Amino acid sequence: MSHSEIGLQAKNDFPLSVAGAAAKGHPTDSIPGTVHDLGNLIQVAVSALNILSRNAHLAADPSLPPIVSSARMSLARAGTLVEQTLRRAREGAASVEAVSIGGCLSELRELVEKIWEPEIQLDVQVEPDLPPLTCSRINLQGAIMNLLTNARDAMPDGGTIALAARRAAKGGSTAAVEIEILDNGLGMSADTLQRAFEPFFTTRATGLGGFGLPVVKRFVEEVGGHIAVESKLNAGTQVTMYLPIAVCR
């Protein structure tokens, strides 16, 4: 099947809400325009997955359907991000909902276990009876996924990432939840740590670096929280987001 045929099929397979958002965006500057183009690329990828899922050879290999399912989940999240970004460009605000922290982290664990290398283990610990956060679910999960990806990349030989959520220790004026990501990877020098939140700053030789931590910091500050990073070279990194329960959005 040709690329054009896949693109045509995507119009039927791609979620209408995302396709509609892209169509109505009428981008007038570079950022909405780029997001609009990403929406079109996601359409092609979703269509290709749908075509693959109908292939008899795929069903014959039990290891492949879970991979396709994980890819669909990732593209669905990407599509939601496109939709919310275009809506935010038009309306100036992201949609919010009551987000179960345990459910949010469980979904991320399921995704990571399916698509990451088996050498990377994710240990998730959630304090019972945590109150929900009123926030954008996709933005919260995006922030956590950014931190998990950084932790994974810091452990080229494999290892364990600890992801924990608990009530923040009392002492502040606002009730908060702390979400902590701890790895035992390469860590950062003092100079690198000082520049960690600078946009475009990266120690990676290849790939798209320099965006993850600034994006996370922006999300945390937008909801009235704060973020702390501790790291030592060759001794791992700990990142903690403190998110106020009442005003997270």
Give the whole-angstrom CA distance, residue 43 versus residue 14: 6
Per-residue pLDDT of the chain (249 residues; tens, 9 = 90+): 443 333 334 334 433 333 344 344 443 345 666 776 777 778 778 777 777 777 777 777 887 777 777 787 777 777 766 776 666 666 555 577 889 999 999 989 988 887 788 889 999 999 999 999 988 888 898 899 889 988 998 998 999 999 999 998 765 556 889 999 999 999 999 888 888 888 766 666 444 444 578 889 999 998 889 999 999 999 999 999 999 885 444
pTM of the predicted protein model: 0.65
Per-residue DSSP letter, 118: T
pLDDT at position 13 is 41
Look up tokens 């990571």; give the residue: 112
Q: Which residues contact 69 (CB under 8 A, 6 or more apart)?
A: 114
pLDDT of residue 75: 79
In this prediction, residue 54 carries a pLDDT of: 78
Q: Give the integer Cα–Cα distance in Å for 241 and 104.
A: 15
Question: What is the C-alpha to C-alpha distance for residues 130 and 133, in angstroms, rounded to an integer?
Answer: 9
Distances in whole angstroms, Cα of residue 147 to Cα of each of 88, 89, 90, 108, 114: 23, 25, 28, 12, 18
Domain ranges of the chain: 3-91, 97-244
Please give the class, per CATH, of domain 97-244: alpha beta
State the pLDDT at residue 214: 86
Predicted confidence at residue 18, as pLDDT, reads: 38
Residue indicated by tokens 């600078």: 198
DSSP β-bridge partners for residue 212: none
